[in-house]
Chain A
Amino acid sequence: MAADIVLQVSNVSKKFVRGEIHDSLRDLIPAMAARLSGRSRPSNAKKDFWALQNVSFELTRGEAFGIIGSNGAGKSTILKLITGIMKPTSGHITVTGKLSALIEVGAGFHPDLTGRENIYLNGTILGMKKAEIDRKFDAIVEFSGLADFIDTPVKRYSTGMYARLGFSVAAHVDPDILIVDEVLSVGDVVFQNRCLERMNTILRSGATVIFVSHNLRAIAELCPRSILLEHGKVTAAGPSQLVMDTYLEHAGAESRQITAKEVGITRVKVRRSNADSVAYESGEKIWVDVDVDCKGPCEPFSVVLFLNDEKQYESFHTSTEYLGCQPIAMKPGDRFSCTFELDLNLAGGTFYLGVELFRFNNEELLHVMYPAQTIFVNTLTEVRGVVNPHPKVTAFELVRPAEPTKEAIKR
Chain B
Amino acid sequence: MVQSLQELFARRDLLYMIAWREIRIRYKQSVMGFMWAILLPAVIVSAGIIVRYGMSVMSGKPISGQEIAGITVKGLVWAFFAGSLRFSSTSLIGNPNLVTKIYMPREIFPLASILSQLLDFGVAAGIVLIVFIGARLGASWQLLWVPVLLFITIALATGWALILSAACLFFRDVKYLVEVIITFAIFITPVFYDVEMFKKWADLLMLNPLAPLIEGFNSTIVYGRSPDLPWLAYSSIIAFVSLVLGFYLFKRWEPSFAESI
CB distance from B100 to the nearest CB of A (A): 7
Task: Write the chain A residue with the least CB distance to B28.
Answer: A112
Per the 8 Å Cβ criterion, residues 1-46 of B in contact with A are 11, 13-14, 17, 21, 24-25, 28-29
A108 is an interface residue with CB less than 8 A from chain B: yes
Q: A83–B102 Cα gap in the complex (Å)?
A: 8
Q: A25-B177, A83-B103, A101-B102 are in contact. Are A108 and B29 (CB under 8 A)?
A: no
Q: Are A28 and B14 in contact (CB under 8 A)?
A: no
Report chain A residues within 8 Å CB of B28.
112-113
Q: A103-B102, A124-B17 are in contact. Are A362 and B259 (CB under 8 A)?
A: yes
Question: Which of A21, A86, A103 has the most chain B CB atoms inside 10 A of its CB?
Answer: A86
Q: A80-B258, A107-B98, A113-B25 are in contact. Are A22 and B14 (CB under 8 A)?
A: no
Q: Are B259 and A130 in contact (CB under 8 A)?
A: no
Q: A201–B235 Cα gap in the complex (Å)?
A: 57
Q: A120–B24 Cα gap in the complex (Å)?
A: 13
Contact with B171, one of A24, A121, A127 (Cβ below 8 angstroms)? A24
Report chain A residues within 8 Å CB of B231.
none
Q: A24-B173, A101-B102, A125-B17 are in contact. Are A117 and B24 (CB under 8 A)?
A: yes
Q: Are A28 and B102 in contact (CB under 8 A)?
A: no
Q: How many residues of A contact B (CB 8 A)?
A: 33
B65 is an interface residue with CB less than 8 A from chain A: no
Q: Are B17 and A121 in contact (CB under 8 A)?
A: yes
- The 8 A CB mask of B162-180 against A (1 = contact, 0 = none) is 0000000011111001000
A85 is an interface residue with CB less than 8 A from chain B: yes
Per the 8 Å Cβ criterion, residues 46-102 of B in contact with A are 95, 97-98, 100-102
Q: Are A104 and B25 in contact (CB under 8 A)?
A: no
Report chain A residues within 8 Å CB of B170.
23
CB distance from A204 to the nearest CB of B (A): 26
Task: Write the chain A residue with the least CB distance to B261.
Answer: A361
Q: A103–B24 Cα gap in the complex (Å)?
A: 26
CB distance from B210 to the nearest CB of A (A): 24
Per the 8 Å Cβ criterion, residues 115-138 of A in contact with B are 117, 120-121, 124-127, 129-130
Contact with B14, one of A25, A80, A124 (Cβ below 8 angstroms)? A124
Q: A87–B101 Cα gap in the complex (Å)?
A: 14
Report chain A residues within 8 Å CB of B134.
none
Q: Are B98 and A25 in contact (CB under 8 A)?
A: no
Q: Are B255 and A110 in contact (CB under 8 A)?
A: no
Q: Are A124 and B259 in contact (CB under 8 A)?
A: no
Q: Are B259 and A86 in contact (CB under 8 A)?
A: yes
B260 is an interface residue with CB less than 8 A from chain A: yes
Q: A112–B14 Cα gap in the complex (Å)?
A: 19
Q: Are B260 and A23 in contact (CB under 8 A)?
A: yes
Contact with B101, one of A24, A28, A107, A124 (Cβ below 8 angstroms)? A107
Q: A107-B101, A125-B98 are in contact. Are A23 and B14 (CB under 8 A)?
A: no
Question: Which of B170, B255, B259 has the most chain A CB atoms inside 10 A of its CB?
Answer: B259
- Nearest first, the 4 closest Cβ-Cβ pairs linking A and B are A104-B101, A87-B255, A84-B103, A124-B17
List residues of chain A with CB under 8 Å of any chain B CB.
Answer: 16, 21-26, 28, 80, 83-87, 101, 103-104, 107-108, 110, 112-113, 117, 120-121, 124-127, 129-130, 361-362
Given contacts A124-B17, A125-B104, 10 further A-B contacts (CB under 8 A): A24-B173, A25-B173, A83-B102, A86-B259, A107-B97, A121-B21, A125-B98, A126-B102, A127-B11, A361-B100
